[in-house]
Amino acid sequence: MTMLLKGSEFVKAWKKAKPLMLTDTGISDMLRKLPDDADASDIKQFKKVAADLTAKMNDPKIKAEKKALACLAEIQTCIRDELAFLKRNRATASKILEDIHGFAVTYHKEVEKGLLTPAKVGAFSPRNGTLSGLAKKMDMITSRGRDGRTVPPEIVAEFQGQLDKMYARSKLMLDLAEDAASPKPKLDMKTKYPPIWRSFGECMQKLPPIWKQLDALES
């Protein structure tokens, strides 16, 4: 049996295991309502079914049928194991978002101190080792979460949108820092730099509410 949350697979398994004389259990109808392409909003429904199966398995008619009872126990285990996996994966995703925010905060503070060398200002970039590593870890989670269970697409999009804005502002600050370090600067660092730095900070402060959305999801 698949370990993924697919209602149709559970229905097939139950029909195969259930003897013909075992009728009016309500189990087929319950399993049939479970979707194949579950998203975050469906998690609660799967949790309820896993809980309701306990009562079904305590039904004397079902307990008397070993094959049917084993099938329901396996379905329940599949659901609970998958939900536990999603919960762990979601917690990991939340921690990665928090770590990326922490990296951005440190970067923002260092830039505020006037450390405007191209090397320092270029630290917030997709090519940075630490940041790139965190982004890759997040990609590994969201690639599996694109079914909407681990990290809903709207949360991924919101996070990526803010991160892209921060990358863009960091690139602008890098351009200014490189120009200022050149023999003949062409740009006005004093007037152009502060608004971009502040805008980076504003985007950065929008990251915590995003992972808090993730933490608040049903799991």
Evaluate whether residue 2 is within a structural domain: no
- What is the pLDDT of the chain when averaged over all its residues? 85
- The C-alpha atoms of residue 146 and residue 149 are separated, in whole angstroms, by 7
Of the three residues 63, 84, 105, the one that is the final residue of a domain is: 84
The answer to whether the beta carbons of residues 28 and 49 sit under 8 Å apart is: no
In this predicted structure, the answer to whether residue 136 has a pLDDT above a threshold of 90 is: no
**Contact between 197 and 173 (Cβ < 8 Å):** yes
pLDDT attached to residue 115: 57
Q: Look at phi and psi of residue 24 and say left if phi exceeds 0, alpha if psi is from -120 to 50, else beta.
A: left
The Cα–Cα gap between 128 and 136 comes to 12
| Same domain? 114 vs 144 | yes
- Asked whether the whole model's pTM tops 0.85, one would answer no
Same domain for 101 and 69: no
Least reliable range by pLDDT among 18-22, 156-160, 209-213: 18-22
Domain boundary among 84, 102, 120: 84
Condensed to tens digits (0 to 9), the pLDDT of residues 6-57 reads: 888 999 999 999 887 888 888 999 999 998 887 778 888 999 999 999 999 9
Mean pLDDT of 192-200: 90
pLDDT tops 70 at residue 150: yes
Instruction: Report the domain count for the chain.
Output: 2
Model pLDDT for residues 70-124, shown as the tens digit of each residue:
999 999 999 999 889 888 888 888 999 999 999 999 888 887 766 566 777 777 8
- The token pair that represents 61 in the structure block: 């008619």
Q: pLDDT (tens digit, 9 = 90+) per residue, 59-71?
A: 999 999 999 999 9
> Could you tell me which of 32, 29, 26, 45 has the C-alpha nearest to residue 83?
45
Structure confidence at residue 1 (pLDDT): 40
170 lies in which domain range? 90-215
pLDDT for 129 beyond 50: yes
Say if CB 167 and CB 107 are below 8 A apart. Answer: no
Q: Is residue 51 domain-shared with residue 97, that is, in the same domain?
A: no
Both 70 and 97 in a single domain? no
- Whether residues 78 and 136 share a domain: the answer is no
In sequence order, which residues have a C-beta less than 8 Å from that of residue 32 and are 6 or more positions away? 7, 11
